[in-house]
Amino acid sequence: MEHFGELYIDGRWIAPSGDTRTLIDPTTEDPWATVTAGGGEQEVDLAVAAATRAFATFSRTTVAERVELIDRIIEAYERREDQLSQLIAREVGVPVSFKAQVTGPAGHMKVARDLVSSYAFEHQIADTVVRREPIGVCALISPWNWPIQTSVIKVIYGIAAGCTMVLKPSDASPASGVALAEIMHEAGTPAGVFNLVIGPGRVVGEALSRHPDVAMVSFTGSTGAGARVGEAAAQTVKRTCLELGGKSANVVLTDGNLEKAARWNVSRAFSNSGQSCHAPSRLLVHRDQVDGLVPFLVDEIDRMSIGDPRDPATTHGPLVHAQQYDSVQRHIGIGLDEGGRLVTGGLGRVEGLDRGYFCKPTVIAGVTREMTLAQEEIFGPVIVVMPYDSEEEALEIANDSVFGLGGYVFSEDRKRGYDFACGIRAGRVAFNGAAVNSHAPMGGYKQSGVGRSMGVFGLEEYLEVKSVFGFEDESHDLPTFS
């Protein structure tokens, strides 16, 4: 078995004291690696101290120097894409055919590099220079469902801004964090700029969130965990950027293309085995059109190839671990007990797969807004079909959630679709299945989060604003952050 037993602090690999634990392959349910059980407060203190020392120098680097570093990181990353694809297939069950998981991060790095190259860190208001300066040491806490991409986005925008950082990967995907640390080391990242501490959230995440020398926490995960991060961070009044849970609605207006909406909904909701915070898990259709849409859902599901994620022919792999499988099974059972109508799927493993956490792709119709499946995030391959009688009611149902991360609208009328999208209380809304734009901000309304990632808005999460008075506009000899 492989062993991932070290943390990365101040440019060196160190072995923490303590036990190791076993990583389970979600496809076979067999052990495949061991990993350090993680660091504690002592290792967090060491990592934050290293990042604090490095910040004194790295925060004053030029944009050109940081761009050069990002280019080296991109080169090191792209050399390992095949290896990373195999790693996350083994670690969290992501199919190697789902190439966006490993090709996407390089694209995000290039967006950040190009953005920072032209970003105005200073501008003039009358006799005042308004500066954007790196906020300081950042704690980056990433999830397991996009174990590499989410970490990369946090890391690369922090570096672009001139910040230093400590990354804590999810307990379910520590090997991905180690791989990213190896890439950062190979790229020649200055000691202390990037640090990796593995460990449970209740220990490492808590210590990072409370640490007085951490200036900002960027967290992606569940709403419950995000609330605890926010509470801990508030003790030292630090900035938080939280991307949390979702229960996104896909609203098919009466003039929408039913087949296109249904097939796209299955593709988007069940990618990554449904383990996506932006998944369109609520499908809202006019009551008179439900029967016309449902057969397209079933047909699209029948086209899925579920199995070993290391097989290039596989389109959908297992859930990440036993706890997630049990949670999804429990939600399916609740949905049926509360009166939902099973269209396809249901309880139990996928037929022919006796090992692994393979959940049947499931559609449950007749779900109303007060039912559990309409309100709780399932985080698995489950779509609920919810009927509506008017466009006004559809908007009410779409917004009847504590979450507000994503939304989707299908209509053949651009103005009608845009007007409806503007009424959805969510951070990102896609029209007719449009692809996301990595230059645009990502984040949520309500209990789906605070702050934004990606693009200009994502960069500015890592920057403070300072006003320097008494300098006229004609003073062009001032030193600049760039």
Coil vs helix vs strand at 442: strand
Catalytic residue among 138, 163, 241, 277: 277
β pairing state of 216-220 and 239-243: parallel
To which H or E segment does residue 158 belong? helix 149-161
- DSSP string of 91-143, one letter each residue: HH---TT-THHHHHHHHHHHHHHHHHHH--SEEEETTEEEEEEE--EEEEE--
Cα gap 392→369, rounded to integer Å:
14
Residues 398, 424: contact at Cβ < 8 Å?
yes
**43, 243, 376, 460: which one is catalytic?**
243
Nearest to 252 by CA among 408, 366, 401, 368: 408
In a 13 Å sphere around the CA of 182, the CA atoms on its Cβ side amount to: 16
Pinpoint the alpha helices (H) of 252-403: 258-270, 290-302, 322-337, 372-375, 391-399
CB atoms within 10 A of CB 351: 9
Alpha-carbon span 442 to 287, nearest angstrom: 32
Rg (alpha carbons) of the chain, rounded to whole number: 23
DSSP string, 15-32: PPSS-EEEEE-TTT-SEE
Of 145, 425, 88, which Cα lies nearest the Cα of 273?
A: 145
In the block, tokens 């990042």 appear at 51
Rounded (to 5) percent helix, strand, coil in the chain: 40, 20, 40
How long is the chain?
Answer: 482
d(CA 477, CA 16): 49
324 membership: H or E segment, kind and range: helix 322-337
User: In which element (H, E) is residue 46 found?
Assistant: helix 41-58
Name which of 261, 285, 276, 260 is nearest 382 in CA terms: 276
Q: Establish whether 243 is a catalytic residue.
A: yes
Strands (E), 411-481: 428-431, 445-446, 449-450, 463-468
Active site residues: 243, 277
